[in-house]
Amino acid sequence: MRKITIAANWKMYLDERGSIDFIDKLNADKDLFSNKNIILFPSHACIRSVKDHLDVNVKIGMQDCDIHNKGAYTGSTSINSIDIDSCIVGHSERRIVYKESNDVISEKLRAVLSSDVDPILCIGETLEEKNENLTENVIDSQLSILTNDLKARNLTIAYEPVWAIGSGNVPSNEYINEMLSYIKNRLKSLYSGTDLDNIKLFYGGSVDVSNVDELLNVELIDGFLIGSASANFEKFKDIVKQLKL
């Protein structure tokens, strides 16, 4: 039976106090969380405090990183700035709000791969793109950065349709299955058999306790990248409780 990963993208929801409070509650419920695959993505500024307070075996990641590893880049954060397990690149909020192009995301992926950190590459179409039947073109274009020199060891592709993020509009299981199958087929043309086994597929977009059980029926889903519901401890706990393993 597959072991689902819950990746909690806290975005900019929790400040340092809020992050520590969350971790204190997590520690108090150790038995529930310790044998699960969980990755927490706090704000950069809160990673140190989260790591210092954690008393449960969960992974920690960065929500984004700079394309450079070191140097005169005011206000930016290097993938090497702190010891972490995973890093998100290409989140739609970075693509749309911060105008990050595929080229920039490709450089970020390169930076992550130059360290010992596992990347999560986010992809997904906007509502306009979906309505214009461009979803597969968007997926092709966003996956096109996986060139030979950027083939990650433990790569995760998080399919997050932009129209599902923060909207409460969760696609049907059929739709998610169709998109993940398409992504998997594209990856098959890029990766050989054994490398393909190391690639995980996540779904993200309005995942919460009311829909996670139903979404678990999509067999291609290896994990969920969760935003707002993951930054609320009680909601997060209820989601984790739904996991069979």
* 39 lies in the binding site for ligand 13P (CB under 6 A): no
| Minimum distance, C-beta of residue 171 to ligand 13P, in the bound complex (Å) | 12
Among candidates 181, 231, 222, which has minimal Cα distance to 201? 222
Binding mask 144-183 toward ligand 13P (x if CB under 6 A, else -) reads ----------------x----xx-----------------
Q: Where are the beta strands (DSSP E) in the chain?
A: 5-9, 37-41, 59-62, 86-89, 118-123, 156-159, 200-204, 223-226
Q: Which amino acid is at 224?
A: F
Q: Which amino acid is at 45?
A: A
* 121 lies in the binding site for ligand 13P (CB under 6 A): no
- Active-site residue flag, 160: yes
| Minimum distance, C-beta of residue 168 to ligand 13P, in the bound complex (Å) | 8
Given 100, 107, 125, 160, the catalytic residue: 160
Closest residue to bound ligand 13P by CB: 227
- Separation of alpha carbons 150 and 130, rounded Å: 28
Where helices occur in 8-91 by DSSP H, the ranges are 16-28, 30-33, 47-53
If phi > 0 it is left, if psi is from -120 to 50 it is alpha, else beta; for residue 75 that is left
* 124 lies in the binding site for ligand 13P (CB under 6 A): no
Binding mask 197-226 toward ligand 13P (x if CB under 6 A, else -) reads -------xxxx-----------------xx
User: Which residues sit at the interface with ligand 13P, rule CB under 6 A?
Assistant: 9, 91, 160, 165-166, 204-207, 225-229
